């Protein structure tokens, strides 16, 4: 398997955390869970077969996605197909980073996965053809980076208020919306509207995802975590609060997650 990443140059780097590419995926299973990570993902399939997104409530049902799609902010886990030999590339947006590339509120993507030709029409398919023709991975990264820069045009100006709010929520996950808005000189209504447009989750939900991600990073790689200490260190009220959040975001208990870790902290094998 080949896996490579590139951190784009500024100003794109303020909005896109990384560009990524992989080929010849090696897996011994067919489905996996992607846990909420506070990011929007642009994905371009470099092969012709469909990729599956499963219904969490009934894994016998699935939807097919082809060529290129975008996965919005998620308030729960996704069950996706893992196809041996697959090849893809894409862009991992920072929280709040996808807004300059679209002409509508980012909340329209929330809890959705949408094929990009419905939004960007034939231009995304033309980009895919260019990526398929480029033999070198560095050239593929160049093409994707150039496309994103052109797509955003002159809109690559960060919303400093939203950026400050996100940084604050990472540090103080239990901070109320009222106190957060007052700290930044906005009304609660203004704060929610900005998050709707730029982030796709409410400040409260974003705070919960940040806290959940901190818990994953804390226990990842550890053999037998002290869950009471993890709960305290990550900003949960107590251990039952931590368990409840794992059940909602991952569909499993914290203990199950710790016992079934994979190569990446945001993924769990389904079968």
Cα separations (Å) of 193 from 71, 134, 158, 166, 238? 21, 41, 16, 14, 31
Domain ranges of the chain: 2-152, 160-265
Spatial contact of 231 and 242, defined as CB atoms under 8 Å apart: yes
CATH 2.60.120 at 2-152, yes or no: yes
Give residue for tokens 């809109």.
155
- Could you say which DSSP state residue 109 is in? G
Does the pTM surpass 0.85? The reply is: yes
The predicted-structure confidence for 169-213, as pLDDT tens digits, reads as follows 998 888 889 999 998 999 999 999 999 999 999 999 999 999 999
Spatial contact of 77 and 35, defined as CB atoms under 8 Å apart: yes
pLDDT band at 50 (very low <50, low <70, confident <90, very high): very high
User: If you write DSSP's letter for every residue of 61-93 in order, what string do you get?
Assistant: EEEEE-SEEEE---SS-EEEE--TT--EEEEEE
Radius of gyration over every alpha carbon of the chain, rounded to an integer in angstroms? 19
* Chain centroid, CA 57 distance in Å: 21
Instruction: Give the mean model confidence (pLDDT) for residues 120-149.
Output: 97
- Could you say which DSSP state residue 254 is in? H
| Equal fold, 2-152 vs 160-265 | no
Give residue for tokens 């909005």.
15
C-alpha to C-alpha distance for 13 and 7, rounded to whole angstroms: 7
The predicted-structure confidence for 235-262, as pLDDT tens digits, reads as follows 999 999 999 999 999 999 999 999 999 9
C-alpha to C-alpha distance for 56 and 111, rounded to whole angstroms: 12
- Could you say which DSSP state residue 255 is in? H
The predicted-structure confidence for 66-80, as pLDDT tens digits, reads as follows 999 999 999 999 999
Give residue for tokens 């447009």.
197
Q: What is the pLDDT of residue 89?
A: 98
Cis previous bond, 11, omega within 30: yes
pLDDT band at 271 (very low <50, low <70, confident <90, very high): confident
Region of 138 (left: φ > 0; alpha: ψ -120 to 50; beta: rest) is alpha
How many CA within 13 A on the CB side of residue 14? Answer: 15
Long-range contacts of the stretch 240-246 (C-beta < 8 A, 24+): 242/215, 245/208, 245/211, 245/212, 245/215, 246/212, 246/215
Cis previous bond, 246, omega within 30: no
Spatial contact of 112 and 57, defined as CB atoms under 8 Å apart: no
CATH of region 160-265? 1.10.10.60
- Could you say which DSSP state residue 85 is in? T
Spatial contact of 39 and 95, defined as CB atoms under 8 Å apart: yes
Q: What percent of the chain has pLDDT over 70?
A: 100
Q: What is the pLDDT of residue 125?
A: 96
Instruction: Give the mean model confidence (pLDDT) for residues 13-19.
Output: 97
């Amino acid at each position: 398997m080949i896996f490579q990443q590139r951190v784009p140059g500024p100003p794109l780097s303020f909005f896109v955390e990384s560009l990524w590419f992989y080929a010849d995926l090696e897996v011994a299973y067919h489905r996996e869970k992607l846990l909420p990570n506070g990011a929007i993902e642009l994905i371009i399939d470099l092969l012709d077969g469909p990729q599956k997104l499963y219904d969490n409530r009934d894994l016998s049902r699935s939807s097919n996605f082809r060529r290129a799609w975008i996965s919005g902010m998620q308030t729960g886990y996704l069950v996706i197909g893992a196809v041996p030999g697959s090849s893809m590339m894409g862009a991992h947006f920072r929280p709040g980073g996808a807004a300059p590339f679209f002409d509508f509120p980012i909340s329209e993507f929330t809890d959705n996965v949408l094929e990009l030709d419905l939004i960007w029409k034939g231009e995304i398919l033309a980009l895919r053809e260019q990526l398929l023709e480029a033999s070198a991975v560095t050239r593929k990264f160049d093409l994707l980076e150039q496309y994103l820069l052109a797509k955003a045009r002159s809109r690559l100006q960060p919303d400093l208020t939203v950026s400050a709010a996100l940084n604050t929520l990472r540090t103080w996950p239990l901070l109320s919306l009222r106190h957060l808005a007052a700290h930044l000189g906005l009304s609660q209504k203004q704060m929610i509207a900005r998050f709707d447009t730029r982030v796709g989750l409410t400040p409260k939900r974003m705070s919960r995802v940040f806290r959940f991600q901190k818990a994953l990073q804390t226990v990842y790689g550890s053999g037998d975590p002290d869950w009471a200490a993890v709960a305290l260190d990550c900003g949960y009220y107590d251990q039952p609060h931590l368990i409840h959040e794992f059940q909602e975001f991952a569909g499993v208990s914290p203990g199950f997650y710790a016992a079934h870790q994979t190569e990446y902290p945001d993924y769990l094998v389904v079968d």
